Chain A
Amino acid sequence: MVRGFYTLGSGILTQSRILSGVSNNLANVDTPGYKKKEVSTSTFGDILISRVDSKITPIGTLGAISTADKTNVIHSEGTLKTTDRTLDFAVQGEGFFGVQSQNGLVYTRDGSFSVDNEGYLTLNNVGRVVGQNGAIKVGTDNFTADSQGNITVNGNKVGTIAVYNFADYNNLKITQAGMYTAAGGATLMQNPSLLWKSLEGSNVDSAEEMTDALAAQRNLQSCSQAVKMYDQVLQKAVTDIGKL
């Protein structure tokens, strides 16, 4: 009988996890290269329910617990905006920048780069940007770049930004600071399309997020309302039935 409490409790927990996903999306509505993350839900495995009379007859299955299952990344393209800053890059269409972080190679669509003290092109707080021949030593922010990622300083080519693509984006895992890692399957794109002096905005649609937030809130309230009703039913069972 008290099984319902746990089912409703799992509903409350799941909705609150959905809401924290929505909340992270809305917080990052202005983060360059940010991709919407969606928490998908599932039932926690079905249980067999049976009727108990002279013998035990199975009736069917019951999905008793709802649970947050996966955080899916929606890899649609964000809006591109020009910034006029020479260190800003955006990938048009498919592709990711590679960045050599402390924990290995990570991938990102965030192209708001800087130049570190040794003169290498870096992504702030993450690491050096990977070029086709290792890290790119630009030494200056006064350079030109083309759509293939070739960087030219005073007429001399200093490197080419490597752009990677993946056959299956499901291989990409979110790492600690919003970058992605891949177990393998990264291929160097032969003809990437980069936009220089531009950044890709986040692909979060705020109207959709607000709708999801309200839906999650109301779903959660429905669950909590049902918990109250359930409690009242149990109260009847405990107090009134005992009077007989």
Chain B
Amino acid sequence: MITAFYTAATGAVQLQKGLDVTANNVANVSSTGYKASQSTFADLVYTNIDAPQGSNSDLKSGHGVKLDKTSTLLSQGGLEQTGRSLDYAVTADNGFFAVQKGNTVEFTKNGDFHLSTVDGKNYLSTSDGGLVLDSKGQPITAVNEQDNLDVGVYTFSNCDALERVGDTSFTATDGSGAAQAVTSPEIKKGWLEGSNVNMADEMVSVMELQRAFQMNSKIIQISDEISQNINSLR
């Protein structure tokens, strides 16, 4: 019964982590350019109950579950016309704007840009001061906000491996490969891409995970009652 206790404990802990992922999706239902995360679980080790470890026995006991990975769903969010001339949206699932923040370049679908003045020049920038890059990887200067700007769109050979860094931004990893500029990308000026979170899916996931959590807690309780029972044998 001690095994059952710890197995159910991994269930309760890991399923709650899954709920954390879902909660973050729900919280970002109206974040511009947000991409939903999907949590995937995997089972933990199996050990032989009454045979030496490693031998091929038919009687095995599993030891619970782990949150194996969270992957990003890159599907297109809803496009919303804002009419604001510094709003941009990429219409391809795999296209991102590049933003220079200090020495690092981050990639985002959030095209809510502004003009910021550095050394007397107007630069296209994000709301937290990062400089938006053009297709050649250079900051974009603008005279006024009506200008037609060459906003760069970048893609990766494997967007699934991009790493989330917050602010609806991603960074490149070894798995994703280096950013490649997209030639003649489809950009919509005066539009913003909304979050791709599907509330119905998320609510189903909340209920699913909540019930799963409750059932695992119940098993913990049952295991505890059994321990109590055994303790009161004498």
Interface stretch (choices B36-44, B106-114, B128-136, B185-193): B36-44
The answer to whether A175 and B212 have CB atoms under 8 Å apart is no
Which B residues are in CB contact (< 8 Å) with A206? 211-212, 215
Given A27-B64, A68-B49, A210-B215, A20 and B4 touching (CB < 8 A)? yes
The answer to whether A140 and B157 have CB atoms under 8 Å apart is yes
The one of B1, B5, B44, B223 in contact with A177, judged by C-beta atoms closer than 8 angstroms, is: B44
Interface stretch (choices B24-32, B69-77, B82-90, B143-151): B69-77
Chain A interface main SS type = mixed
Given A16-B1, A22-B4, A114-B161, A28 and B222 touching (CB < 8 A)? no
Q: 8 Å CB contacts to B: which residues of A21-35?
A: 21-24, 26-32, 34
The answer to whether A30 and B212 have CB atoms under 8 Å apart is yes
Q: Is B59 an interface residue (CB 8 A)?
A: yes
Q: Is B33 an interface residue (CB 8 A)?
A: no
The answer to whether A24 and B1 have CB atoms under 8 Å apart is no
Q: 8 Å CB contacts to A: which residues of B193-222?
A: 208-209, 211-212, 215-216, 218-219, 222
The answer to whether B11 and A178 have CB atoms under 8 Å apart is no
Q: Is A101 an interface residue (CB 8 A)?
A: no
Determine the distance from Cα of A34 to Cα of B225 in the docked complex, in whole angstroms.
28
Determine the distance from Cα of A141 to Cα of B158 in the docked complex, in whole angstroms.
5
Which A residues are in CB contact (< 8 Å) with B62? 21, 24, 27-28, 37, 174, 178
Q: Is A165 an interface residue (CB 8 A)?
A: no
Q: Is B179 an interface residue (CB 8 A)?
A: no
CB nearest to A223 among chain B residues: B229
The answer to whether A174 and B3 have CB atoms under 8 Å apart is no
The answer to whether A28 and B226 have CB atoms under 8 Å apart is no
The answer to whether A26 and B211 have CB atoms under 8 Å apart is no
Which residue, of B5, B44, B46, has the highest number of chain A Cβ atoms within 10 A?
B46
The one of B1, B8, B159 in contact with A26, judged by C-beta atoms closer than 8 angstroms, is: B8
Given A32-B40, A142-B94, A206-B215, A27 and B11 touching (CB < 8 A)? yes
Determine the distance from Cα of A84 to Cα of B68 in the docked complex, in whole angstroms.
19
Interface stretch (choices A57-65, A115-123, A236-244): A115-123
The answer to whether B56 and A224 have CB atoms under 8 Å apart is no
Q: Is B65 an interface residue (CB 8 A)?
A: yes
Which A residues are in CB contact (< 8 Å) with B65? 27-28, 30-31
The answer to whether A30 and B209 have CB atoms under 8 Å apart is yes
Chain B, interface size category, equals 35 or more
Q: Is A43 an interface residue (CB 8 A)?
A: no
Q: Is A130 an interface residue (CB 8 A)?
A: no
The answer to whether A213 and B40 have CB atoms under 8 Å apart is no
Determine the distance from Cα of A180 to Cα of B71 in the docked complex, in whole angstroms.
25
The answer to whether A20 and B3 have CB atoms under 8 Å apart is yes
Which residue, of A20, A139, A206, A227, has the highest number of chain B Cβ atoms within 10 A?
A20
Give the distance to chain B from A8, nearest Cβ to Cβ, in Å: 10
Determine the distance from Cα of A117 to Cα of B177 in the docked complex, in whole angstroms.
8
Which B residues are in CB contact (< 8 Å) with A75? none
Determine the distance from Cα of A114 to Cα of B226 in the docked complex, in whole angstroms.
42
Give the distance to chain A from B200, nearest Cβ to Cβ, in Å: 13
Determine the distance from Cα of A22 to Cα of B73 in the docked complex, in whole angstroms.
32
Which A residues are in CB contact (< 8 Å) with B38? 83, 85
The one of A37, A124, A221, A227 in contact with B42, judged by C-beta atoms closer than 8 angstroms, is: A124
The answer to whether B73 and A85 have CB atoms under 8 Å apart is yes
- 10 further A-B contacts with Cβ under 8 Å, apart from A71-B58, A114-B71, A224-B233, are A27-B65, A28-B64, A29-B11, A37-B60, A70-B59, A117-B175, A125-B42, A173-B56, A217-B226, A221-B229
5 A-B pairs with the lowest CB-CB distances in the bound complex, closest first: A27-B11, A178-B43, A24-B62, A20-B3, A23-B4
| Chain B residues proximal to chain A, CB less than 8 Å | 1, 3-5, 7-8, 10-11, 14-15, 18, 38, 40-46, 49-50, 56, 58-65, 68-69, 71, 73, 75, 94, 157-161, 174-175, 208-209, 211-212, 215-216, 218-219, 222-223, 225-226, 229-230, 233-234
